[in-house]
Amino acid sequence: MVITTPYESGRDFLSPNRNLSPLSTEVDANKRLMVGGCLLSDLAQRYGTPLYVIDEITIRTACRSYRDALVSHYSGSSLPIYASKANSSIALSRIIASEGLGMDVVSAGELLTALEGGVLGEKIFLHGNNKSEEEISLAYRNRVNIVIDNRYDLERIEKIVPSGADPASIMLRFTPGIECHTHEYIRTGHLDSKFGFDLDQVKSIFKELQGVSWARLTGIHAHIGSQIFELKPHQDLAEVMADVLLMGRNFGHPIEDFNVGGGLGVRYIESDDPPSIQKWVQVVSEAVIVSISKRKLNLPRLICEPGRSLVATSGITLYELGSRKSIPGIRKYLSVDGGMSDNPRPITYQSSYSACLADYPLEVPDEIVTIAGKHCESGDVLLKDVSLPKSKSGDVLVVFCTGAYNSSMSSNYNRIPKPAAIILLSGQADLLQRREQPEDLLRYDVIPERLRELG
Ligand SMILES: *Cc1c(COP(=O)(O)O)cnc(C)c1O
């Protein structure tokens, strides 16, 4: 029998998104799992559980793969930017900045995190379908590009840019009307989407923005969705966008940036088979070059904004196994010390994950179990019916591919504090985010004066 464990599966060292586990995953002499040169069960002991763990080499490899593939396949200039909603922290921003990538942000919080991490304002793009005036103003003051999503954005930008001051640098987002096969909640490119201008509004926006002093329209943008394995929709997008570029330039706008969005999928379970970063970039670059040349335009700067495929595989979460419950003939539940508050994807999108025991990654699976979280929701299940070797309470469970949309979507449901996050490189572990304490959760509570007397 061939035993494949998450750490053996994949093994594409140039395209992290095709692996189930971080690139530095290995086993020690006692066949226990290590990542970044650190023994996982040691880390669980030292930092406590649940624990978010990030493998630095995996993130850096993904950044370089996007950058290098763009340089090899696209003859114009290019810039990969990280969609930081996938996982936002100051230290991650610093790594992304040091790799030369730009960053996508969607709130004042993400924007401040990017700036604090050292990302230059000119390399930051502010997205959002309902930006506040404060967010727009913060972006403008820091020379951040503002992606206009609707007319309300334009009204607000006009209001905050002082007369005679430098214009805001803006990029127009539109809905390209492209369908792709992904979960309904994460589709954004089809027409019934809250994001962006409709294609038939674009012309009038180009017209309205002709000659305005408060904005300079320097780019166009579309994003078709997330966790996409198909390449065809990205090719189709190039054609639609090239038409919009042509129209914009005909209206005299200095459009140089051609932002095709993100969306490349990752391998969460063995059967997932996403294209590599290199293949994705190649197909997109070639499609853009063809569409642009056909219209006899100068090649714009090609921007892509991956989130998930840059960080998902670099992350794992460590939990401690606790109570168990067997329902004969039905299911065996093993409970962990976290769940939907640190990983809301299974309950939100019915997402699947892979897992193994930190100290017995190669042991032959022995039972089918369901890994349940500790929250007061029957649906709080992280993995349903997975095979694991025999385990006992206190064992450390590793859930793979949690680097994207876990920490950033975490909550304090049931007043459960958020986990600590650490980053690993060459045998060294460093804290990236401190563990929240139960007392921290009381910090913003206020007892109204009139209730004090009741005590
Ligand atoms: C979420 C998002 C991305 C990143 O998507 P991934 O699937 O994580 O690569 C890029 N651009 C925009 C506008 C987004 O909303």
Using the mean position of ligand 1's atoms as its centre, give its distance from the Cα of residue 307 in Å.
6
Strand partners, 168: 215
Q: Which atom of ligand 1 is nearest to the CA of 305?
A: 10
Predicted TM-score of the model (pTM): 0.95
Asked whether 371 and 391 are in contact (CB, 8 A), the reply is no
Residue 339, ligand 1, Cβ within 6 A? no
Its sign, for the CA torsion 209, 211, 215, 220, is positive
Protein residue with its CA nearest to atom 10 in ligand 1: 262
Helical pair 232-250 and 277-294, crossing angle rounded to 10 deg: 40
Residue 86, ligand 1, Cβ within 6 A? yes
pLDDT at residue 225 in the model: 93
Residue 173, ligand 1, Cβ within 6 A? no
Residue 299's nearest CA partner among 307, 309, 288, 311 is 288
**Mean pLDDT per 10-residue run, the chain (455 residues)?**
56 94 96 97 98 98 98 98 98 98 98 98 98 98 98 97 96 89 58 86 97 97 95 95 98 98 97 97 98 97 98 98 96 97 97 97 94 97 96 98 98 98 98 98 94 76
Using the mean position of ligand 1's atoms as its centre, give its distance from the Cα of residue 309 in Å.
10
pLDDT at residue 218 in the model: 97
Residues that are catalytic: 376
Cα distance between residue 161 and residue 366, in whole Å? 65
Q: Which atom of ligand 1 is nearest to the CA of 86?
A: 8
Cα distance between residue 85 and residue 107, in whole Å? 9
Asked whether 301 and 78 are in contact (CB, 8 A), the reply is yes
pLDDT at residue 3 in the model: 42
For the chain, domains (ranges, CATH) are 16-55+314-442 (2.40.37.10), 57-311 (3.20.20.10)
Using the mean position of ligand 1's atoms as its centre, give its distance from the Cα of residue 353 in Å.
20
Cα 191 from chain centroid (whole Å): 23
Protein residue with its CA nearest to atom 11 in ligand 1: 261
- Burial string for 223-253 (b: 16+ CB within 10 Å, else e) reads bbbbbbbbbebbbbbbbbbbebbbebbebeb
